Chain A
Amino acid sequence: MRRRPLTEAFSQAVSYLFTLQSLSYLTLGTGIGLLFGAIPGLGGTTALALLIPMTFGMEPDSAIVLVGGIMGGVPFGGSLSAILLNTPGAAPNAATCFDGYPLARQGKAGTAIGAAATASALGGLIGVGVMLAVIPIAKAIVLLFGPPEFFMLAVLGLSAIAVSTGGKLIRGLISGGFGLMFAFVGFDDVGGGLRYTAGIEYLWDGVQLVPALIGLFAIAEMIKLLTVGGSVATIGGPAIIDRVLDGVKSVFSNLTTLLRGSAIGSFIGAVPGVGGTVASFLSYTFTRQISREPETFGQGNIQGIIASEAANNAKDGGSLIPTLAFGIPGSAEMAVFLGVLVLHGLEPGPRLLLEHENVIYGLIMALSLACVLASAVGLVLARFLVLVTRTDVQYLAPIVISVALIGAYALQSSLGDVVAAMVFGVIGYFMVRFDYPRITMVIALVLGGIAERSYHQSLMMSDGSLGIFFTRPVADVLLALIIISLTLPALRLLARRLRK
């Protein structure tokens, strides 16, 4: 088969995308993405899963454009609820809460939204650019990671995030430990038996991530607000958004943070199974650790928003690499996206790149445009969205709790998910009250399965020897990063004392 030049496929995709029909699908997808992203607990995976049947009668190109719009819109939608409600629309937006929400409470929600919109758009574009550049060498990169490396990567994700919890390293690791134990609940892939289910049938499939997220963030936050009363924003007065442009400008004055976050997001996104949560938190952690003012993070430092949002959006481009090139989904969202491709007769893998280049480039273009479109729409709507922070919590809480619990049910049509979300809501509330970071528990829930599977696969490869984790170059590099991340607070303290 003759392979068409890249430029031909690219120009074909561009000419298709800039038709009225495609732009309509793109706008619709972006709007749906923003909505699903902003509603805590729904997110991109739910949006794609619920909309798969709707794309059935569509042309593959149109379906891909619609899906690209959704994937581009979800991350920024999630950052809006993270900033305004301290409730991430999805797990990858959780890092945005750390500094976005404090800014909202200081009456600077507009600045935070402006920075998030710009970092999202630029991060998304950089991620797509990286994808275009990396596709030719993608296979070699992905093949560097075997089970020992995946195990080390999971441990690195957990330790790096515990360090990033602002002086709560021990409690962060404890939360992670409990999160891992939750992740072990259910059917054991290796031994084939059930663990920690207490005879509850719902738990046979394990603790589901989305209800846990809804509980730990959306419901816990609402319980907390209900006990305090008032509104999300502690600063009173009219909801004037006059600093959106300040947020936009702040991204350009922190270009290094943007580029670093985008690079981390693209790289982590390309590693199958790790996903955007690790990307945004690693980016946040790294930015905080190398900052000259690490103590300002968590208090409303704009760099925290830029770092996490750039990585969160850049990871989409990165995670398309293994999804399209090898049929290995980089995240749950990508796994659902694979379903969309297969539904439309597009078999993921190297042949897809050879035979359907126009579809691939159409998707890339759609994703790029959706990133910009979502941010533009978000900026326009920021003035109205910020009113959410001024709403009386007695109105806000029942509405958010209702929508969040409906979202929990909608994912799998399971009442068990509704109960699980409520249980995790109470757990999350007490974690907030006793100052135990919730995010390490979430990361552990995400990484627990990968960690355990990789651990057993590694031991099978080495006939039970733990040495396999220490004798492979990439695993060694990751181990070094784990040690550095765990000892960095102590080393920093030591350096400060020596300086004195």
Chain B
Amino acid sequence: MDVDSLRRARVPLVLILIMVGALIGSYDYEPSARALPVLVAWTTIGLLLLEFLVQLGTPLGRRIETFFQSKTDEEESQPVPVSRALMYAVGWPGFLVVMTVFVGILPAVLVYVCLSLKFVGGKSLSRALIVALAVTAFAWALFEWSMSYQLYRGVLMGASGF
């Protein structure tokens, strides 16, 4: 059992904890409401235990892996580096969502595309602005102009939130 196996086995372990939480929560509901969720949760926990054994790389795990033909793509399942690129990749769309809530969809898209191209993509400001304007114009033309569909205006512009 090497360090890599232990690290890979953390994923099913975390998922088991999540599913156990859901299972415990299920018992708060009426028997008819929890019947299928409980069945699914127990089955999934069982499968996660199998996956845990597979990832640990024990002899039993290897047998399970062979029987179910459940091999792991080594290239895909590398540990996720919490890199600046990942932070940007998740953070910028998150910024778009937050901006949308406050200023509405079209201004948020304009600002997001422009800033993303400038600061993440390293493009020139003029190019970033042109692309941002083109995307915003496309969204406006498709939804607001051709379909008379009003996109969200943002809480700062008087629209209601969630």
- Chain A interface residues toward B at CB < 8 A: 50-51, 54, 167-171, 173-174, 177-178, 180-181, 184, 188, 190-191, 193, 195-196, 201-202, 219, 222-224, 226-229, 392, 394-395, 397-399, 401-403, 405-406, 409-410, 413, 415-416, 418-419, 422, 425-426, 429-430, 432-435, 451-452, 455-456, 489-490, 493
**8 Å CB contact of A418 from B29, B100, B121:** B100
- Given that A394-B117, A415-B100 are known contacts, is A406 also in contact with B151, CB under 8 Å in the complex? yes
B101 at the binding interface (Cβ < 8 Å): yes
A-contacting residues, B26-51, CB 8 Å = 26, 29-30, 32-33, 35-37, 40-41, 43-44, 47-48, 50-51
Q: With a CB–CB cut-off of 8 A, which chain A residues contact B77?
A: 433-435
**A363–B141 alpha-carbon span in the complex (Å):** 29
Query: Which residues of chain B have a CB within 8 Å of any CB of chain A?
Result: 11-12, 15, 19, 22, 25-26, 29-30, 32-33, 35-37, 40-41, 43-44, 47-48, 50-51, 54, 64, 66-73, 76-78, 80, 83, 85-86, 88-90, 92-94, 96-97, 100-101, 105, 109, 112-113, 116-117, 120-123, 131, 135, 138-139, 143, 147, 149, 151-152, 161-162
Which of A173, A401, A429, A456 contacts B47 (CB under 8 A)?
Answer: A173
- Pair A193/B33 contact, Cβ less than 8 Å: yes
Contact of A223 with B90 in the complex, beta carbons under 8 Å: yes
**Of A219, A397, A432, the contact of B76 (CB 8 Å cutoff):** A432
Instruction: List, in ascending order, chain A residues with CB within 8 A of B139's CB.
Output: 402-403, 406
Given contacts A405-B93, A410-B149, A435-B76, contact A177 B40 (CB under 8 A): yes
Q: A398-B92, A451-B36, A452-B36 are in contact. Are A410 and B151 (CB under 8 A)?
A: yes
For A181, the chain B residues whose CB sits under 8 A away are 19, 22, 37, 40-41, 44
- A193 vs B29: C-alpha distance in the bound complex, in angstroms? 8
Q: Nearest Cβ in chain A — how far from B141, in angstroms?
A: 12
Q: Which of B67, B69, B96, B161 contacts A402 (CB 8 A)?
A: B96
**Minimum Cβ distance to chain B for residue A171 (Å):** 6
Question: How many angstroms from the CA of A324 to the CA of B83 in the assembled complex?
Answer: 53
In contact, A402 and B135 (Cβ under 8 angstroms)? yes
CB-based nearest A residue for B29 = A195
Contacts of A401 in B (CB 8 A): 93, 96
> Does B70 contact A425, Cβ atoms closer than 8 Å?
no
Is B80's CB under 8 angstroms from A433's CB?
A: yes
Most buried by A among B30, B69, B77, B161: B69
Report the bound CA distance from A16 to B69 in whole Å.
Answer: 55
Residues on B with beta carbons closer than 8 Å to the beta carbon of A226: 85, 88-89, 120
User: Known contacts A177-B41, A405-B97, A435-B77: does B33 contact A223 (CB below 8 Å)?
Assistant: no
When the two chains form the complex, which single residue of A167, A410, A426 contacts B71, counting CB atoms closer than 8 Å? A167
Q: Which residues of B contact A190 (CB under 8 A)?
A: 32-33
CB of B53 to closest CB in A, whole Å: 10
> Given known contacts A422-B94, A433-B77, is B135 in contact with A195 (CB within 8 Å)?
no
> Shortest distance in angstroms between A490's beta carbon and chain B's nearest beta carbon?
5
21 of the cross-chain contacts (CB-CB < 8 Å) are A167-B71, A170-B51, A170-B64, A177-B19, A177-B41, A184-B40, A193-B29, A226-B88, A226-B89, A228-B85, A397-B116, A398-B92, A398-B135, A399-B135, A402-B113, A406-B109, A406-B139, A406-B143, A418-B100, A433-B77, A452-B36
With A402-B112, A422-B93 as contacts: A493 and B85 at CB distance below 8 Å:
no
Nearest-CB distance from A436 to chain B (Å)?
8
A174 lies within 8 A of B44 (CB): yes
**Chain A to chain B: the 6 pairs with minimum beta-carbon distance, closest first:** A177-B44, A394-B121, A191-B33, A226-B89, A489-B69, A435-B77
* Most chain B beta-carbon neighbours within 10 Å: one of A227, A402, A418: A402
The CA of A148 and the CA of B32, in the complex, are separated in Å by 17
